[in-house]
């Protein structure tokens, strides 16, 4: 089977999986009700409800173990340190990120962190010499992040991530609950400010990513991450292009924006 055929097969499998998991028509109204019932909950209580009740056993966290990741992971670990945590190991991370991941796992006692790598044949066909990022970052992100995440999320109905409105761009109106395809995406820190994040690190004594002190405020793959100054925390990602997102966060349907810190 050629590499193109393998890529098509992967896409077909994912599409089939989504079709099989097609949500009932009533799900949107259920999510709206879920929003109403959790609208006044703070982030910790919101996570507790989602992890132990609403999506119990069917929910995962996706983390890049970047500059702000410890705040969300700390809250999640307080509910259930055994929750699956998906880390997209693109093969392009800074060594400091991989070390930080291990430090956070130890510090928080996480017991199910899954390092997900691109499918080897797919990667070998699309990016045999690891230079795809130099001329097609969208394709590179698709191979190294989007397809692996879709496969890793099989069997889950919801996933938690750490995006925040303060990141700007398409995230500026980020709701706390959104629908993306047939899965529910939960953004418990959507309305957090930079001060909230800093306070959470300080109060809880959370370890910092070692590159933060070198002005890296949003940290992804090394070819596409630069240090930044000023208030735009994500301006160091794909800094010389219009690209602002890797593709694992297509615009979902907005369900709810409630919640307190
Ligand atoms: S962030 Fe850069 S190196 Fe990483 S997958 Fe995307 S394009 Fe490739």
- pLDDT tens digit sequence for 191-225: 999 999 999 999 999 999 999 999 999 999 999 99
Q: Which CATH number fits domain 47-256: 3.40.50.2300, 3.30.70.1450, 3.40.50.10190, 3.40.50.620?
A: 3.40.50.620
Centroid of ligand 1 to alpha carbon of 65 (angstroms): 15
* CA nearest ligand 1 atom 5, residue: 141
Candidates 90, 146, 244: which one to mutate for ligand 1, based on the most atoms within 8 Å of Cβ?
90
pLDDT surpasses 50 at 21? no
Tell me the C-alpha distance between 122 and 117, whole Å.
11
Of 65-69, 179-183, 209-213, 253-257, where does mean pLDDT reach its minimum? 253-257
Tell me the C-alpha distance between 217 and 120, whole Å.
31
Q: Which residues contact 184 (CB under 8 A, 6 or more apart)?
A: 31, 55, 157, 158, 159, 177, 178
pLDDT of residue 28: 74
Is residue 153 within 8 A of residue 225, CB to CB? The reply is: no
pLDDT surpasses 80 at 107? yes
Q: What is the number of the ligand 1 atom nearest to the C-alpha of 133?
A: 7
3-state secondary structure of 218: coil
For CA atoms 30, 33, 37, 41, give the dihedral sign: positive
Candidates 246, 247, 248: which one to mutate for ligand 1, based on the most atoms within 8 Å of Cβ?
246
3-state secondary structure of 243: coil
Active site residues: 246
Rounded to the nearest 5 degrees, what angle is found at the Cα of 87, between the Cα atoms of 82 and 92? 155
Interval 53-99: pLDDT, tens: 999 999 999 999 999 999 999 999 999 999 999 999 999 999 999 99
Is residue 146 within 8 A of residue 246, CB to CB? The reply is: yes
pTM: 0.86
pLDDT surpasses 80 at 2? no
141 close to ligand 1 (CB < 6 Angstrom): yes
pLDDT of residue 19: 46
Give 5's pLDDT tier (boundaries 50, 70, 90).
low
pLDDT of residue 253: 55
Centroid of ligand 1 to alpha carbon of 234 (angstroms): 15
Query: On the CB side of 153, how many CA atoms lie within 13 Å of its CA?
Result: 29
Give 11's pLDDT tier (boundaries 50, 70, 90).
very low
């Amino acid at each position: 089977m050629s590499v193109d055929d393998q890529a098509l097969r992967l896409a077909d499998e994912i599409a089939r999986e989504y079709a099989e998991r097609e949500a009932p028509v009533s799900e949107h109204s259920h999510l709206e009700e879920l929003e109403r019932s959790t609208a006044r909950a703070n982030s910790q209580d919101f996570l507790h409800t989602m992890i132990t009740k609403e999506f119990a056993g069917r929910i995962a966290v996706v983390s890049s173990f970047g500059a702000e990741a410890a705040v969300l992971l700390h809250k999640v670990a307080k509910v259930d340190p055994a929750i699956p945590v998906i880390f997209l190991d693109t093969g392009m991370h800074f060594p400091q990120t991989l070390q930080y991941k291990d430090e956070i796992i130890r510090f928080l006692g996480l017991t199910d962190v899954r390092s997900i790598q691109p499918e080897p044949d797919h990667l070998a066909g699309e990016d045999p010499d690891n230079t795809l990022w130099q001329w097609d970052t969208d394709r590179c992100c698709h191979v190294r992040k989007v397809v692996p995440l879709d496969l890793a999320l099989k069997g889950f109905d919801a996933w938690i991530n750490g995006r925040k409105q303060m990141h700007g761009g398409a995230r500026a109106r980020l709701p706390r609950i959104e629908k993306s395809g047939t899965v529910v995406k939960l953004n418990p820190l959507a309305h957090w400010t930079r001060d909230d994040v800093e306070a959470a690190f300080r109060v809880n004594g959370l370890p910092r990513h070692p590159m933060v002190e070198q002005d890296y405020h949003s940290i992804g793959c090394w070819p596409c991450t630069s240090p930044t100054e000023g208030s735009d925390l994500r301006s160091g990602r794909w800094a010389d292009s219009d690209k602002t997102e890797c593709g694992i966060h297509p615009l979902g349907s907005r369900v709810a924006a409630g919640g307190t810190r």
